[in-house]
Structure 1
Amino acid sequence: MARRKPENHDEDDANDLRYRAPALEKGLDIIELLASAPRPLSPKQISERLNRSVSELFRMVQVLEKRGYVAMAENQSGYELTNKLFSLAMSRGVSKNLLDHAIPVMRSLAENILQACHIVVVSDDQIVVVGQMDAPGIPSFHIRVGYRQNITDTASGAVFYAFQSPKVRKAWRTALQPNLTPEERETFEAQADRARAEGHLVAKSQYADSITDICSPIFSDNGLVAALTIPYIKSKLSVSIEDCVASLKEASLQLSTLLGATPGSSNPQIKS
């Protein structure tokens, strides 16, 4: 029987170095930096944060811009990520199936209530908008696809938290709430409890005083997958919040059914 060759970590490290791709690493460093930055960054700021020279990164930024991964901000203050990576990710599997079903349901909902709506999923400690529909022919609150916000700062985040199992909810509580004030923590927990009890949530938006978020969970055959939200703005053409709630819950039930949701577990929409 042949003797097993002893492990050689130095050789493994050497192989890792041999197959490095410095140009690719620079591009990924830029993308990851811009993804974590709260605002656009200038070439000088990018170089300082990555500890590289501007000239070293200039060509890489130009290539990323040409390929559509980064773009200059509208105010020309620096570069920011586009939605290209997000769109590529959303073209896969479950996400694509969700949007294929959600877009026509959202279009019908927006036409029925004359309000915009959007659908979000959870990504780490944030919610991210994966689909959006404007109200037809009238001004409405527009949230761009790819927009992210902390789970604890949104009605949809409270809805996601509400419909987790007790074990998962406890883990989320530990991970998400350490930086909240006692008042913020109490408000978030109360919203989640209300959402769980009523099957939806109506809450004042933290984004603007004039907006009321109306949010409902979306389920598939695998459980909770998304949340559908109406950023309600009262106008002469708007229907009542109560009518929006009814239409939203009907749309959520329709979408959940299309995604294969069945009666039972944590799904309050489909009755046995």
Structure 2
Amino acid sequence: MFEDAADRYRAPALDKGLDILELLAATDESMTQAEIAKALGRSPNEIYRMLDRLVRRGYVARILGDRYELTLRLFALAHQHAPVRRLVSQALPVLRQFSRRAEQACHLAIYDRGRVIVVAQMDAPSYWSYSIRVGARVSLYNTGSGHVLLAFASAEERSLMEAEREIGADDRGRPDDLDERLEAVRARGYEAMSSFQSESVFNLSAPVLGPGESAIAVLTCPFLPRVDRADVPGRDEALAILLDATRDLSIVLGKGGEES
């Protein structure tokens, strides 16, 4: 009897630990051992030792006596990854300049194994802002960031991205007109679309280009119109500022490396 390749190198204990981490990462509140076991379809005794090890290694914290939640250790590990660390450190001054000029929030997102992940974020300088937290995972199909990443990928890369995309709670499936939309996004160099998540937000997204005109990241402004001030840049002006910012980032992070 042949053993399935996917099962040949299984590590049940590792799978169990990763299941716990992914569950706690997707949960806003802390959970008890019994709640974790129930959510994972396991007995409390089955996950006791794994929880104990995760607490001792600093990935999970035990609070309020019998409840567990993630620490920031995974977040710190992610930011020790050299390419992401370089990307964020180089991008933050540009994000800050954009927010000051446009008086809008913005965030930088990348594609990683089926996910669109926000890796940097900058609030607007005023009291009013709409922002997405760092670490948030957003849809390939329902966001400006996702559209840009797909539009500036090769046909082979796009097929792979769609095949391994992460399906979230807000997933609406593949739009019928997606191919035509992506073609238009690539032709004009940016995406401009009403938000699928908030009625008042209009997403402006443009690529940070690397070698071969592929998108290594996307800068998005969740544009909020201001009716209380006439001196704040409007949507068209904010888009122009956004395109300036992505050109600067492309030189620093992508094309500049190719030309040097």
Q: TM-score, normalised by structure 1?
A: 0.73
1:141-156 aligned at under 5 Å gives the runs 141-156=130-145
Whichever residue aligns with residue 253 of structure 1, its letter is R
In the aligned structure 2, how far is the partner of 1:66 from the partner of 1:115? 42
Matching residue within 125, 129, 139 for 1:136? 125
2:245 corresponds to 1:255: no
In the aligned structure 2, how far is the partner of 1:217 from the partner of 1:174? 22
Q: Where in structure 2 are there 5+ consecutive unaligned residues?
A: 4-8
Shift of the 192–107 alpha-carbon distance from structure 1 to 2, 3 Å rule, reads same
Residue pair 1:191, 1:201 contacting (<8 A) in 2 also: no
Matched residue, 2:21: 31
Cα deviation, residue 85, structure 1: 1.6
2:155 corresponds to 1:166: yes
Shift of the 21–122 alpha-carbon distance from structure 1 to 2, 3 Å rule, reads closer
Residue pair 1:152, 1:177 contacting (<8 A) in 2 also: no
Q: Where in structure 1 are there 5+ consecutive unaligned residues?
A: 1-8, 10-15, 265-269
Note the aligned Cα RMSD (angstroms).
3.6
Matched residue, 1:103: 92
Whichever residue aligns with residue 85 of structure 1, its letter is L
Residue pair 2:104, 2:129 contacting (<8 A) in 1 also: yes
Matching residue within 205, 211, 232 for 2:201? 211
Q: Give the greater-gyration-radius structure (CA).
A: 1
2:118 corresponds to 1:124: no
Give a deviation string over 1:16-46, Cα, whole Å, max 9, x none: 99xx895x665334114445x5765553231
Matched residue, 2:6: none
Residue pair 2:113, 2:164 contacting (<8 A) in 1 also: no
Matched residue, 1:197: 187
Q: Secondary structure at the match of 1:97?
A: helix
Q: Secondary structure at the match of 2:126?
A: coil
Percent identity at matched positions? Answer: 33
Matched residue, 1:228: 219
Residue pair 2:113, 2:165 contacting (<8 A) in 1 also: no
Shift of the 185–86 alpha-carbon distance from structure 1 to 2, 3 Å rule, reads farther
Give a deviation string over 1:105-150, Cα, whole Å, max 9, x none: 0011101111000000112222110000001132201211100122
Residue pair 2:144, 2:193 contacting (<8 A) in 1 also: yes
